[in-house]
Structure formats: structure tokens, C-alpha cells
């Protein structure tokens, strides 16, 4: 029988709690952030435990009646994850709580120095398939103006952002504005332990992720970009690319953190998709901060995600995120006429030569 990893080997790795305490020092806002993140880690450990039961736990199969506040089909585990995170944050110094599962921002302790936005369970359509899913969070300073001014602000004003991945192991990717760090949940102590300090997203890669089934609905810049990739060695990029698609933002971004590449969820011509599909406050903004802190980029095609100011809780946005060179190249398809095609079907001839 294979033995478990040596306890001493795991224990030599720094814990997130130790790092948070050092980072926070005596600063009130930082101390509140550190405590809040630690409480979310505790909730994530319980979410991971419940996911680990699979169909035996009664949470996996079946959908709730109707949709959540953001308009997506709601699973039982979506609700459970939201309840676990909310319960954890009721005990933390959090003023306002915004969630994909709720119609409005919830008031917790208006005098608290920070506010939190979450997607409690991203990728829940994959629950039955045993594919990686996750939780996304974002921490903002509380404003004296109340809930909206605390959370409806540019993503660049985040204090911290992160996501948990519930997969073969449970991991956390987090930034406190000092780079992006991966941690893994130690199943024996339920502590998150550091894997590597300050990861860097690879810039030269051969992977992209997009749902090609929507090809006919895309606008010309995205069609042209994908057409050029699919032409492989004979195309303008001069090399073969591999396509990936998991339909879980956490899983897609985590792959980019590890291997580079680009993930695209553009707006398109379908009803309800004209402004994109992903939510700005609790999906795109935290992922953008994490990615930029790891040397990558995130835009809506042309505009930097972290410069966008939401005007409503469940506001949607297109998203292009990943290796900076790839994200910048996608933007050229929107702004540079030399990247246009004379027609846009797959493998069409390009209109102007480009390298």
C-alpha cells in the first residue's frame, strides 16, 4: 500500500495564516482582510469536504427550482457554498457581502473596514462530471458611502483577490497586491500551505480556450483571431495551437496560471450575450487582479478589466484573460486594420498579410 507523504515534508511549507499575519502587521484594514481570508479558507475547506462526498452526500445531483440572481441555473451545492461563505463572513469584520446567488448586496457590519464579493461555486454545471470547480472572492475597502460605493468601483482598488479550486487537491490562488501565490490545503491540518512564492504566467504558449460552438455568433475580431490560430503552421502565427474548454472560469484561469495561454469569453450576437456573460464584480475583476499580479493581462477585448467601473451588482462583461502577449494580440484584432480578414469563416483567406 502506498504511504502518505511524510508529515514533516508538508509541515516545512509556510502556512497562509503565518503569511497573512506578517503581511497585516498592526494595520486595521489589513488585519481585517487577513481574518476574513482565513475565515473564507475555513469555509472553503468545508465546501471541499462536501464536494468530496460526491453523490453520496446528496448535494451533487439535481437542480434547484429556477435560477440564481445572476440568471444561471442554480444547483444545491451553489446554495450550500453561498451559505457556508456567508456564515463564515458574518463572524468576520466585513461590512457588505455581494454574491452571485443573491439579488442584492447584504449588509453585515457597516462599520467594518472591508467588503467582500464572491462567486460561491464557479463552474457548477460540471458538478456531476467530477470536473474542477471553484470559489472566487474579492476584497475591497469599505466606503463611507455604503454598499454600492464600497463594491461598485474599479477592480484596481481591490485589496485582495483569490480563488479556490476543488479538484484532485484543493488549492488556493491568492494575491494581496504583492504577486500571486498558490497554496494547497493540507488534508491533515486543514491549513493552506505555500507551493511557490510569486508565480509568473508563461508568455509563449500554444494553448487557447474558447467555446467554438458559438463561432457563427462571434463578431469579426474574435473570428479572425481564432481563424488565424486554427490555420496552424500554415497561418500567420506559424505554429500549431491546441484548444481547451472546461466551461469553468476557475479551471480555465488555473490552467493559464500553470501553463499560460489565453481564455476568451467574448460578447456575441446571441440574445443576452451582447455584453458578455461573465460578471464583472465577482468573476472578471478578481481574476484580472490575480492574472496581472502574475504578469498576465485581462481585458474585455480592448479595455483593461481593472479599469472598468460596475454600475450594478450582476453586471456582465466580455473577458479575454491570460498571457499578456496573447491578450495584447487579441486587442489588435479590434483596433488594427491590418488584422482584418476579407471574410471570416474558418480557414478563410486573410485580407492583408501580417506576421
Query: Of these residues, 252, 268, 283, 300, which one is catalytic?
Result: 283
Q: What single DSSP character describes residue 100?
A: T
- Asked whether 302 and 151 are in contact (CB, 8 A), the reply is no
The residue among 61, 187, 166 whose CA lies nearest residue 122 is 166
C-alpha cell at 250: 476557475
Distance between CA atoms of residues 72 and 232, nearest Å: 35
Is 122 among the catalytic positions? yes
Dist. CA 273–CA 293, nearest whole Å: 29
Is 157 considered catalytic here? no
Nine cell digits for residue 143: 466606503
Which position among 35, 78, 228, 231 bears the catalytic label? 78
Told to judge if 87 belongs to the known catalytic residues of this protein, a careful annotator would answer no
35, 102, 119, 207: the catalytic one is 119
Question: Residues marked as binding for substrate?
Answer: 122-125, 211
Q: Which of 17, 46, 63, 72 is catalytic?
A: 72
Residues ≥6 apart with Cβ < 8 Å to 288: 155, 298, 304, 305, 306, 321
Please tell me which residue in 100, 186, 252, 300 is annotated as part of the active site. 100
72 catalytic per annotation: yes
Which three three-digit cell numbers place residue 117?
Answer: 464579493
Instruction: Cite the annotated binding site by residue number.
Output: 100, 119, 121-125, 211, 283
Q: Which is catalytic among the residues 35, 77, 89, 101?
A: 101
Which position among 122, 186, 252, 268 bears the catalytic label? 122
Residue ranges of the binding site for Mg(2+): 100, 119, 121-122, 283
Is position 228 annotated as part of the catalytic site? no
101 is catalytic: yes
Give the integer Cα–Cα distance in Å for 41 and 174: 11
Residue 227 appears among annotated catalytic residues? no
- What residues act catalytically? 72, 78, 100-101, 119, 121-122, 283
Amino acid at each position: 500500500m502506498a504511504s502518505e507523504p511524510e508529515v514533516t515534508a508538508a509541515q516545512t511549507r509556510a502556512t497562509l495564516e503565518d503569511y497573512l499575519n506578517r503581511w497585516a502587521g498592526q494595520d486595521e484594514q489589513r488585519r481585517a482582510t487577513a481574518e476574513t481570508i482565513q475565515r473564507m479558507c475555513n469555509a472553503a475547506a468545508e465546501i471541499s469536504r462536501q464536494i468530496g462526498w460526491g453523490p453520496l452526500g446528496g448535494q451533487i445531483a439535481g437542480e434547484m427550482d429556477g435560477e440564481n440572481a445572476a440568471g444561471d441555473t442554480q444547483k444545491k451545492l451553489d446554495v450550500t457554498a453561498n451559505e457556508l461563505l456567508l456564515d463564515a463572513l458574518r463572524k468576520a469584520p466585513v461590512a457588505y457581502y455581494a454574491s452571485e446567488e443573491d439579488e442584492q448586496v447584504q449588509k453585515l457590519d457597516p462599520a467594518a473596514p472591508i467588503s467582500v464579493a464572491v462567486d460561491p461555486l464557479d463552474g457548477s454545471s460540471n458538478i456531476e462530471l467530477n470536473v474542477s470547480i471553484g470559489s472566487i472572492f474579492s476584497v475591497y475597502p469599505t466606503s463611507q458611502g455604503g454598499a454600492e460605493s464600497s463594491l461598485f468601483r474599479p477592480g484596481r482598488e481591490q485589496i485582495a483577490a483569490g480563488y479556490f479550486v476543488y479538484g484532485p487537491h484543493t488549492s488556493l490562488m491568492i494575491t494581496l497586491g504583492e504577486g500571486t501565490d498558490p497554496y494547497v490545503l493540507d488534508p491533515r491540518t486543514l491549513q493552506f500551505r505555500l507551493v511557490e512564492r510569486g508565480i509568473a504566467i508563461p508568455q509563449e504558449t500554444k494553448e487557447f480556450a474558447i467555446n467554438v460552438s458559438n463561432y457563427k455568433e462571434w463578431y469579426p475580431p474574435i473570428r479572425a483571431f481564432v481563424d488565424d490560430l486554427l490555420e496552424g503552421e500554415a497561418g500567420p502565427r506559424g505554429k500549431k495551437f491546441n484548444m481547451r474548454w472546461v466551461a469553468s472560469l476557475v479551471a480555465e484561469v488555473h490552467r493559464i496560471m500553470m501553463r499560460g495561454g489565453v481564455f476568451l469569453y467574448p460578447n456575441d450576437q446571441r440574445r443576452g450575450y451582447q455584453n458578455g456573460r461573465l460578471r464583472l464584480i465577482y468573476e472578471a475583476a478578481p481574476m484580472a487582479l490575480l492574472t496581472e499580479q502574475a504578469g498576465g493581462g485581462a481585458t474585455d477585448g480592448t479595455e483593461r478589466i481593472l479599469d472598468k467601473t460596475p454600475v450594478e451588482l450582476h453586471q456582465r462583461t466580455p473577458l479575454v484573460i491570460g498571457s499578456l502577449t496573447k491578450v495584447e494580440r487579441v486587442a489588435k484584432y479590434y483596433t488594427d486594420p491590418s488584422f482584418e480578414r476579407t471574410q471570416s469563416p474558418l480557414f478563410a483567406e486573410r485580407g492583408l498579410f501580417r506576421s
